[in-house]
Structure 1
């Protein structure tokens, strides 16, 4: 995870700052001057107090891939007589594979094709099949959960168009369901191999490109479902997207040097058809969390730990420097939101020499 600002890093800076102040302000064994007192020694460098928008941003390494991976298993024993090409896309009513010259075709739906459907059957799988038939133009029935003689007649017309025996029945040897068109990721068996019921034939994915990446659990607030992001692509371009899913289980990350718990997130592109690049290519996900509008900010390393507690900055003006206490807001982009102490845009505050 690469961030414009991480809370842990900010705390580390403050800890170092506090330690530095303990040394630099307690000169000659004397106590530190109270906030508001003028110091004769000027800081080694200054930076301006700025006014503007502060964005809590982050970057994460991601992987370009495809969504909804699943296996397609053989529905019947026989010889594989046709398989699709790896990387090809299969749409509704197109062949997924053939066994003994009989094609298993893709239909759209969330549920599996687990039985042979015939007149008199009822269930959600019936409605799923009927909606596909209707979308393909084989109508004459009302898509519902009942497989009637009208459904069987539509199936026979579909079978005739395919050149199959017109039985009016449809089963796993004829149809496999998927949520939408699929991309062929791998082919587990070659033409001429013997297929066994339940044995894998294909591995498919959805056809749209997605990005997966991981975030520390402590930083997951930056990317909830619906969060807008931009993705830096392998070709040097970038594309907008949206966090479409956030894992519910925290697991160790992919980096062996960072075993902190992480959640896995998925990004869907706003225009997925425009996304190119090889499968599993590395990409960068750019996230923007909270934005603070029109606030005063100073560099994080301008902060001083005050003896009585809290933090301040060293204001330099008219050849003299004085400490003023400030209230801290959001940390981001190497800066911190500050208020109080009479600060105004354009004032100079002390910082370490770079």
Structure 2
């Protein structure tokens, strides 16, 4: 705000006033002089806005100062909060392989589909994409004669047993096409089951389920063909698995063990290792995060109304650049703020909730991987209103604020939202494009 100050020109030097005249003529001269002084005083008072309460005051000689136009547009009040840039919380890899850890990747390394996350007993644990965790071995399961005759109820669920009851047929997980001669194809006598009946194990049972489709989708994405991507693990799928295993340097069994792969929603960034090579494998061997940088804000639980999923925010980086972000998630549990009061009431008043902000344009973050940032969000916003710089406001003598026009008139205005150095104004005498003066 600026104060309105009127400067009056210095009066010219005058000689001492002559003695007042005598008689009627002298009195008339004194009255005329008094009237001139009174008119001049009223003019000065009017220029200062001291006379009347109308929206528009009388004209006054224009003063020096820059001139700006009244604009129409949107005005937003922004609030800044502290945040932390990083890759998010590190999550332990669900390692199900058993044995000795023989190799670990470097922290910060990125692994994609088909890449090796670690090696256990010198066998690679491979990353694949999917939401369903690996919970069983995937492959063909041999069918025992009694299962084929009676109809194994688990056939409907794809949950086979580990092998035939009579010891007949090929080893578990071996596709029929890869079985030794006479090991028993459908309807063949083979070498016999040893029970004197001549019965043999039937064709390997095809495993079914959504986990099969998820695995076959990844196998096809890695470039392996010759099978149909569906919920059935067939002999054709087993042959493709054998080719994949050969490329990994593994024995071509055609069966994928429960510890051979780990699923994630996409590429991962390697975090901290919980053990060194030589230790036993387990779920705390290695951590990971996503590959996209994000910002986490510990927002005040009492003032987190702005934190709504999908809200656009602005992220200011330490080097002064800005990036556009969007609220992705808001925590449901409040925690005491760091450095809060010792008593429970103070901690409750300072409680915070975590707000995660994602940045779609990762290039706008530069090469910075972590560090403190500032997040700005819109607290209040008005649209399609008249605005002027705050410095254009003048305080009127009768109260309130006004604007000085280019030709020196003063018009009263009502103020609204103050934001970004501008203020919302309204009034009957204000219009878009009108030129107003910013007092010096």
Tell me whether 1:242 sits opposite 2:339 in the alignment. Answer: no
- Of residues 263, 268, 281, the one that matches 2:371 is 281
The answer for the alignment partner of 1:108 in structure 2 is 129
Q: Relative to structure 1, is the Cα distance of residues 283 and 37 closer, same or farther in structure 2, using a 3 angstrom cutoff? A: closer
Q: Taking structure 2 as the reference length, what is the TM-score of the superposition?
A: 0.58
The answer for the alignment partner of 2:226 in structure 1 is 140
Matching of residues 258-273 of structure 1 within 5 Å: 259=349, 263-272=353-362
- Of residues 340, 343, 348, the one that matches 2:430 is 343
Distance in 2 (alpha carbons) for counterparts of 1:341 and 1:214: 45
Distance in 1 (alpha carbons) for counterparts of 2:217 and 2:114: 13
Conserved 8 A contact 1:49-1:296:
no
Tell me whether 1:130 sits opposite 2:216 in the alignment. Answer: yes
Q: Relative to structure 1, is the Cα distance of residues 275 and 325 closer, same or farther in structure 2, using a 3 angstrom cutoff? A: closer
The answer for the alignment partner of 2:386 in structure 1 is 295
- Of residues 232, 245, 256, the one that matches 2:316 is 232
Conserved 8 A contact 1:58-1:286:
yes
- Greater shift after overlay, 312-321 or 170-179? 312-321
Conserved 8 A contact 2:99-2:121:
yes
Name the one with the larger strand percent.
1
Tell me whether 1:51 sits opposite 2:138 in the alignment. Answer: no
Q: State the Cα distance separating 1:131 from its structure 2 match.
A: 0.8
Name stretches of at least 5 consecutive residues in structure 1 with no aligned partner: 1-12, 14-31, 40-45
- Greater shift after overlay, 337-346 or 200-209? 337-346
Distance in 2 (alpha carbons) for counterparts of 1:168 and 1:62: 49
Distance in 1 (alpha carbons) for counterparts of 2:375 and 2:390: 25
Q: State the Cα distance separating 1:215 from its structure 2 match.
A: 4.5
Distance in 1 (alpha carbons) for counterparts of 2:123 and 2:357: 38
Tell me whether 1:72 sits opposite 2:93 in the alignment. Answer: yes
Conserved 8 A contact 1:302-1:314:
yes
Distance in 2 (alpha carbons) for counterparts of 1:193 and 1:216: 43
Larger Rg: 2
Distance in 2 (alpha carbons) for counterparts of 1:335 and 1:253: 37
Tell me whether 1:156 sits opposite 2:242 in the alignment. Answer: yes
Q: State the Cα distance separating 1:76 from its structure 2 match.
A: 3.4
SS of equivalent to 1:78: coil
Q: State the Cα distance separating 1:168 from its structure 2 match.
A: 1.6
Tell me whether 1:213 sits opposite 2:297 in the alignment. Answer: yes
Matched residue count = 310
Q: Taking structure 1 as the reference length, what is the TM-score of the superposition?
A: 0.70
Conserved 8 A contact 1:87-1:183:
yes
Distance in 1 (alpha carbons) for counterparts of 2:403 and 2:382: 26
Q: Relative to structure 1, is the Cα distance of residues 68 and 122 closer, same or farther in structure 2, using a 3 angstrom cutoff? A: farther
SS of equivalent to 1:194: coil
Q: State the Cα distance separating 1:68 from its structure 2 match.
A: 6.7
Distance in 2 (alpha carbons) for counterparts of 1:162 and 1:133: 13
CA RMSD, Structure 1 to Structure 2 (Å): 4.2
Matching of residues 3-22 of structure 1 within 5 Å: none
Q: Relative to structure 1, is the Cα distance of residues 194 and 136 closer, same or farther in structure 2, using a 3 angstrom cutoff? A: same
Distance in 2 (alpha carbons) for counterparts of 1:263 and 1:191: 38
Distance in 2 (alpha carbons) for counterparts of 1:242 and 1:124: 35
